[in-house]
Amino acid sequence: MRVIFLPFFVLFLLKIASSLSWADGGHQNTYGGNHHVDAPSHESYQPHLENARHIQLPQWERKSWYVENWLAQRDAMDLIEGFYKADIFRDQYEEKLQLPVLIVGPSFYRLSGYDKRRVTTMLDNVYGVTQSTDGAYILKDWFTRATIGVFDQEGLRLH
């Protein structure tokens, strides 16, 4: 009986010794166990994709973006077709009141705020929806069909 009990007792003592080893130079973090990596502090946690205090890409600092930059590289309809293939846009139609509606796909939500404005501005430039005084189009979600924003002469405004 003593021979069988001894290995379990030794393992139990080793477990206790290893859990207390943080006092001997190692330390125990919030993730549990003995590691030499600290848990991230609340100052380094950034839940949002964009930080309002920092620009997205420093290499493009102070450089304006124009629709013509994209249109010089590719045909406009090829760009729009690419947005549909990437599932940024899903569908477009007119509602009963003759107001254009753009259904955005799930990839639209993965774009940065800058790129959301760019793709909608490019679409407006090609179709010329906002060239009239009351021109605008509505953006709706692909899944819920809820209105998520509007694009008019002031630009993109998301709810």
Put residue 62 in one of left, alpha, beta given phi > 0 → left and psi -120 to 50 → alpha: left
Q: SS3 helix, strand, coil % of the chain, rounded to 5?
A: 40, 20, 40
Side chain identity at residue 52, one-letter code: A
Strands 155-158 and 147-152, bridge-based pairing: antiparallel
Prediction pTM value = 0.60
Q: If residue 6 lies in a helix (H) or strand (E), which one and from where to where?
A: helix 2-19
Summary count for the chain: helices (H), strands (E): 4, 7
**What pairs with residue 157 in β-bridges?**
150
Q: pLDDT tens digits, the chain, 159 residues: what are they?
A: 555 656 666 666 666 655 655 554 555 545 455 555 555 565 665 555 555 555 555 545 556 778 888 888 889 999 999 999 999 999 999 987 788 999 999 999 999 888 899 999 999 999 998 987 688 999 999 999 999 999 999 999 998
Strands 100-104 and 137-141, bridge-based pairing: parallel
